[in-house]
Amino acid sequence: MNMKTILVIGAGRSSSSLIDYLLKQSEVHEWKIIVGDASIEAARSKINLHKNGTPIAFDIQQNESHAIIGEADLVISLLPPPFHPIVAVQCLKYSKHLLTASYVSDEMKAFDKEAREKHLIFLNECGLDPGIDHMSAMQVIDKIRSNGGTLLSFHSFTGGLIAADTDPENPWRYKFTWNPRNVVMAGQGTAKFLHEGKFKYIPYQQLFKRTTQVRVEGGDYEGYANRDSLKYIETYGLQGIKSMLRGTLRNKGFCAAWNVLVQLGCCDDTYEMDAVEAMSHADFLNSFLPENNSNIKQKLKEIPGLINSNEIDFLDWSGFFDDTPVGLNRGTPAQILEHILNKKWKLNESDKDQIVMWHRFVYEHEKKTKEIQSSLVATGSDSVYTAMAKTVGLPLAIAAKLILLGKIKSRGVVIPIDKEIYNPVLEELKTVGIVFHETES
Amino acid sequence: MNMKTILVIGAGRSSSSLIDYLLKQSEVHEWKIIVGDASIEAARSKINLHKNGTPIAFDIQQNESHAIIGEADLVISLLPPPFHPIVAVQCLKYSKHLLTASYVSDEMKAFDKEAREKHLIFLNECGLDPGIDHMSAMQVIDKIRSNGGTLLSFHSFTGGLIAADTDPENPWRYKFTWNPRNVVMAGQGTAKFLHEGKFKYIPYQQLFKRTTQVRVEGGDYEGYANRDSLKYIETYGLQGIKSMLRGTLRNKGFCAAWNVLVQLGCCDDTYEMDAVEAMSHADFLNSFLPENNSNIKQKLKEIPGLINSNEIDFLDWSGFFDDTPVGLNRGTPAQILEHILNKKWKLNESDKDQIVMWHRFVYEHEKKTKEIQSSLVATGSDSVYTAMAKTVGLPLAIAAKLILLGKIKSRGVVIPIDKEIYNPVLEELKTVGIVFHETES
C-alpha cells in the first residue's frame, strides 16, 4: 500500500472547507492529512479529531519546521504570498508538489525549470480570484474558439459580499470576509484596461466614481476596475482583443460611499496621524475636512460632487460621526480607518457571506456578434464555512486530489488555464453547489 | 593683500543675478569669482568677459573637479539638492564656507558638528522659498515677541508667477520659471497643517480644491497648502501656536484648472503609458476619460464636480484638445504632461515673471488680538534676469558678501532665521527693489 500524505500549511480564515474536503477524501483514498499552523490549536480545531488528520506547530520562519515537508507527497500553502517561495524551495529539495491560491510572483516563476526537471507541479492562482475566475473564463473562451469564434471583448468582475439575510440594516451590504487591510488599500495606484482598442487609465481618485453597473442573477451590483486588466491578455491567449476589463464587484451604493473616504484621504497609509490617542471617530473624519464651523455632515455636503445620494447614511451606520474613541495610540489614516470599520464589519458567527462572479464575452462568429454571460453566486454557511473559504479552498483541494490520483499531467509553475485542470475542477465544484450559469445572446 | 575667491557651482536658470552681483562686488572688494558648470559655455556666458570672473568646466560626479574647491574661500552650490552633500564633504576637507538655497537634508544636518569645529558656516535655505520667506517672517515674529506679543496664527504663501504684461492671453497667468517637473508633481502626498489647535490633513485629490483666497497689493490670488506646514513651528520657535499654514500662491483660476489634470491622473509618475509614440495631445487627455462616445470637452463636463467655471478654456489654451502629436516615444503621464505644457509654458525671451509672497501674523498683545500682513511683489526684467533668479540668487550673494566681510558669526549648518543674517540681507535687498510692505490692524 502506498499511503499518500498531504501537508496543509496555514489553518486560518480560508482553510476550513479545504481541510474538511481533504479529510473526507482521506477516508476514500487512505490519505494522511497534516495541518501545520503557527498555532497548533488552530490546526487542531480544523481537524476536529478526524482519525486521518494530524495537527502540528509549523513556523515557516523556523528552519526546524521545514523537515515535515519531506514527509508529504503534496503541499498546499495557505501562507501569505511572500512566504510561498520559502515553501517552494523546500518542495524542490524534497521533490514535492506545491499548490497555492496566490498570484505567481517573479520569484515563483523562477522555479519553473527546476520543478519541470523534477516532474513536479507548482500550481498557483488556484483559489477563487485568482482561480475560479481563470477556470470559468478559460472554459468559455476555449469553447468559443473551438467553435471558430473570435473574442472581441472580455469583462470579468468578482466580489466577496454578504448574503441578503445577513445584517439587513447594513447599507454597505459588506463585511470583512478577506484581509481587511487589503480592502482598505484597494485600488491605490492606477487601473489600466483596454476599451475598443484604446488603452484606458483610471487613477485612484476616479476609481470609485467610474463604476460599471452589472446585473447578476437578479441582483444589481457595481464594479470598479482592477489595477491591471491587461496582464491576462497574454496568459489567456487573447492577443488582438479590443476590450478587456477585470474588476471588483460591490453592492449598489458601496462605491459612492467608499469614494467619500477615498476623496478625504482616509485610506492613506504613507504617514502617521498626530494625536491619535485622544481621537474619536468624528475627530478622525473631521481632521480631513475644511476648517469651518459647520458640523461634520454639513461639511461633507458642502464639498462639491462628494455627496450625491445616501453616502452620509453609510458613514453614519459605520459610526464615523460618533464621539467613540478610536482606541489606538498611533496609526496611519488607513490603519485607523480599518480599526473603525472593523467595529461594524467584523463577521459575526451567524453571518453568511456571498461570492458573486460575472463574466461577459463578446465574440464574432460567422460574421455575427454574439455574447455569452456566465455567472456564479455562492453563499457561505456561517462565519467559518464562508463562501470565501469554500471558493478559495475547494479548487485547491480538488486539484490536490486530481494530482495525487495522477489525473493532472502538467508540470512546472502553472496556473489553472488548461482543460485538464479546469474541466474536472469545475465539474466537481458543481457537486458542492458552486455552479456557473450561462446565458447566450 | 588677501584676495578672496568665491566659487559658484552651477550656472543655470537661477544663477544670473547671483553671478552679476558677485562680479560687481568683486570690483569693490577685489574678489575673484570662479563659475563652474558642466557646460563651460554656460559659465562663460554668465561671466560675460568680466575681468574678475573665471569660467571652468565642473562636474560634481568627477573627483578631478573637486580640487578647485580648495582654491575658494567660500562655495555657493546651485546644484540640484542631492549633490550638496558631495560639495559639503569637500568644503569640510578644504575648510571652506558653503551656501545653498536648498532645504537642509538629514545628510546636510549631519555635517553641523564638524563645520562648527572648523569654524565654517554651512548656510542653507538662503534663496527665496526657502530663504526670503524665513527672513521676512522671522523679522516680524521677532518684532512681535520683543514687543511682548504672543503669536496665535501664522499663514504664509509664496508663488512664482508671470507679470501682468506677459502673455496677456494666457489664462493660467503662469509659465515655467522653475523646475517644470517639480511643478507637475507639486502637492503629491498629503498636506499637513494646524488650525485652531487641531491637526488638519489635505490629500492630493482635495489639495487644488481647498484653496485659500489671498489679496496681495491689489491682486487676487489663491493658495494651496504645502506638504508640511508644521516643521517650522520648532525652527521658528512657535511652540504653542494655534494655526500654522504655509502654501503656494497661484493666480485665480489656476488651481481649479490644474485640479482637472490632478483628478484625471495626468500627474501620475508611477507607470509608463502605452502607445505614446502615436499619441496626440487629445489622445493623452482622452485616455483618462470615460469610454463613451461624447467628445472630450463634453466628457469633462459630464464628470460630476470637475468643471465649475472656465477650466475648459485653460486646457484649450494649453492645447489639450489638439491633434498635435505629443512628440515623445515613451513616458509616464507626468512626463507627457510636462512635455505638452512646456510647449506653451516655456518662458520666452521678453517674458517677465513675478514673485508674490504674503505672510499674515495674528498675535495677542496686551489682551488684544492684532494682525500684521507683510507682502512682497517682485517682477523680473526678462527671461534671464527673472524675479526668480533675483530672489533666489541675491540673498545667497549678499550673505556670501557678509560672510567674507566677517559680518556673520554663526557657524555650523544654519538657516537664515537669526537677526545677524536676516537684518542686513533684507536691508540690502530693499536697495535692489525687493521690498516687503507691512500693514497692521
Q: Give pLDDT, residue A167.
A: 94
Cα–Cα nearest to A328, from A264, A271, A270, A279: A279
Question: Across residues A158-181, what is the average pLDDT?
Answer: 94
Percent with pLDDT over 70 in chain B: 100
* Tens digits of residue pLDDT in A321-339: 999 999 999 999 999 999 9
Burial of A63 (0-12, 13-18, 19+ CB in 10 A): exposed
**Partners of residue A262 in chain B, C-beta under 8 Å:** 205
Q: Give pLDDT, residue B106.
A: 96
Question: Across residues B170-193, what is the average pLDDT?
Answer: 94
**Partners of residue A201 in chain B, C-beta under 8 Å:** 265, 268, 273, 287-288, 333
Q: Give pLDDT, residue A293.
A: 83
Higher-confidence residue of A218 and B76: namely B76
Question: Across residues A123-141, what is the average pLDDT?
Answer: 97
Cβ atoms B399, B337 nearer than 8 A: no
Burial of B105 (0-12, 13-18, 19+ CB in 10 A): middle
Cβ atoms A284, A334 nearer than 8 A: no
Sign of the C-alpha dihedral computed for residues B326, B327, B331 and B335 taken in this order? negative
Burial of A274 (0-12, 13-18, 19+ CB in 10 A): middle
Find the residue in B nearest to A193 (Cα): B287
Query: Which helix (H) or strand (E) segment is A357 a member of?
Result: strand A353-365
Q: Do A271 and B206 touch (CB under 8 A)?
A: no
Q: How far is CA B367 from CA A4, A275, B148, B364, B441, in A?
A: 86, 29, 11, 6, 15
**d(C-alpha A206, C-alpha B205), whole Å:** 10
Question: Across residues A242-267, what is the average pLDDT?
Answer: 97
Cβ atoms A363, A149 nearer than 8 A: yes
Largest Cα separation within chain B, whole Å, is 78
**d(C-alpha A287, C-alpha B190), whole Å:** 12
Query: How many Cα atoms within 13 Å fall on the side-chain side of residue B29?
Result: 19
Q: Do A291 and B203 touch (CB under 8 A)?
A: no
Cβ atoms A176, A183 nearer than 8 A: yes
Question: Count of CB atoms within 10 A of residue A294's CB?
Answer: 12
Sequence-ordered list of residues with C-beta below 8 angstroms from that of B346, at least 6 positions apart, any chain: B175, B176
Question: Across residues A152-160, what is the average pLDDT?
Answer: 97
Residue A122, pLDDT above cutoff 80:
yes
**d(C-alpha A152, C-alpha A197), whole Å:** 10
Q: Do A287 and B203 touch (CB under 8 A)?
A: no
Name the residue among A189, A274, A291 with its Cβ closest to that of B195.
A291
**d(C-alpha B320, C-alpha B333), whole Å:** 13
Cell of A48: 476536529
Q: Write a three-state SS string for A124-181.
A: CCCEECCEHHHHHHHHHHHHHHHCCCEEEEEEEEEEEEECCCCCCCCCCCCCECCCHH
Residue B427's pLDDT band (boundaries 50, 70, 90)?
very high
- Give, as one character, the DSSP assignment of residue A4: -
**Partners of residue B334 in chain A, C-beta under 8 Å:** none
Find the residue in A nearest to B288 (Cα): A201
* Tens digits of residue pLDDT in A245-257: 999 999 999 999 9
Q: Does A286 touch chain B (CB under 8 A)?
A: yes
- pLDDT averaged over chain A? 96
Burial of A64 (0-12, 13-18, 19+ CB in 10 A): exposed
State how beta strands B5-9 and B219-225 pair: unpaired
Question: Across residues A134-153, what is the average pLDDT?
Answer: 97
**Partners of residue A271 in chain B, C-beta under 8 Å:** 189-190, 192
**Partners of residue A200 in chain B, C-beta under 8 Å:** 287-288, 291
**d(C-alpha A224, C-alpha A299), whole Å:** 27
Residue A129, pLDDT above cutoff 60:
yes
* Tens digits of residue pLDDT in B73-86: 999 999 999 999 99
The three-state secondary structure class of A182 is helix
CA B398 from chain centre, in angstroms, equals 18
**Partners of residue B201 in chain A, C-beta under 8 Å:** 265, 268, 273, 287-288, 333
A residues 237-276 closer than 8 Å to B (CB): 262-265, 268, 270-271, 273-275
State how beta strands A150-162 and A353-365 pair: antiparallel
Question: Count of CB atoms within 10 A of residue A409's CB?
Answer: 11
Sequence-ordered list of residues with C-beta below 8 angstroms from that of B28, at least 6 positions apart, any chain: none
Cell of A363: 465574440
Q: Give pLDDT, residue A337.
A: 98
Q: Does A196 touch chain B (CB under 8 A)?
A: yes
Chain B interface test: which of A155, A188, A190 (most B C-beta within 10 Å)? A190
Chain B interface test: which of A206, A287, A302 (most B C-beta within 10 Å)? A206
Residue B305, pLDDT above cutoff 90:
no
**Partners of residue A287 in chain B, C-beta under 8 Å:** 198-201
Residue B177's pLDDT band (boundaries 50, 70, 90)?
confident
Q: Give pLDDT, residue A305.
A: 87
Sequence-ordered list of residues with C-beta below 8 angstroms from that of B316, at least 6 positions apart, any chain: none
**Partners of residue A192 in chain B, C-beta under 8 Å:** 271
Name the residue among A201, A268, A288 with its Cβ closest to that of B265.
A201
Mark A324-333 as b/e (b = at least 16 C-beta within 10 Å). eebebeebbb
Cα–Cα nearest to B369, from B440, B302, B428, B430: B440
Q: Do B270 and A203 touch (CB under 8 A)?
A: no
Burial of A189 (0-12, 13-18, 19+ CB in 10 A): middle
Q: Do A270 and B201 touch (CB under 8 A)?
A: no
Cα–Cα nearest to A270, from B420, B406, B191: B191
Q: Do A263 and B206 touch (CB under 8 A)?
A: yes
- Give, as one character, the DSSP assignment of residue A436: -
Residue B1, pLDDT above cutoff 60:
no
Sheet holding B412-414, edge to edge: B53-57, B32-37, B5-9, B74-77, B97-100, B121-123, B412-414
**Partners of residue A203 in chain B, C-beta under 8 Å:** 263-265, 268, 288
**Beta-strand runs (E) in B323-391:** 353-365, 368-379
The region that residue B363 occupies, defined by phi over 0 for left and psi between -120 and 50 for alpha, beta otherwise, is: beta
Sign of the C-alpha dihedral computed for residues B326, B328, B330 and B331 taken in this order? negative
Higher-confidence residue of B389 and A293: namely B389
* Tens digits of residue pLDDT in A371-403: 999 999 999 999 889 999 999 999 999 999 999
Cα–Cα nearest to B121, from B429, B407, B353, B319: B407
Sign of the C-alpha dihedral computed for residues A329, A330, A333 and A334 taken in this order? negative
Q: How far is A190 from chain B (nearest CA, A)?
A: 8
Q: Give pLDDT, residue B355.
A: 97
A residues 306-335 closer than 8 Å to B (CB): 306, 308, 333
Residue B324, pLDDT above cutoff 60:
yes
Cell of B342: 512646456
Q: Do A205 and B308 touch (CB under 8 A)?
A: no
